[in-house]
Amino acid sequence: MASGLTEKGKPYLTPNEVAELLMVSPTTVRYWASKGRLKSAKTPGGHRRFMPADVDAFVRESDGTMPPSLTEER
């Protein structure tokens, strides 16, 4: 992602958005984050947020492939 923003113009992804991109459940995404496998930040309200670059790094470290929606130039 050239601009660092998601499709919706946000600089971050929600667990549901990450789950959809990686074709797993949001519970799996939260589990990976809680175990430190996938870097995340928490909002003041306790919600997890993921930077696209961190999701990219996670996928590259996992199996070397990347969903097209995270690598397209915008």
Q: When comparing pLDDT for 54 and 73, which is higher?
A: 54
Q: Any alpha helices (H) in the chain, and if so which ranges? A: 15-22, 26-34, 52-62, 68-71
Which domains can be identified in the chain, with CATH numbers?
15-67 (1.10.1660.10)
- pLDDT tens per residue, range 19-70: 999 999 999 999 999 999 999 999 999 999 999 999 999 998 887 555 555 5
Tokens of 60: 């590259």
> Considering the entire predicted model, what is its pTM?
0.74
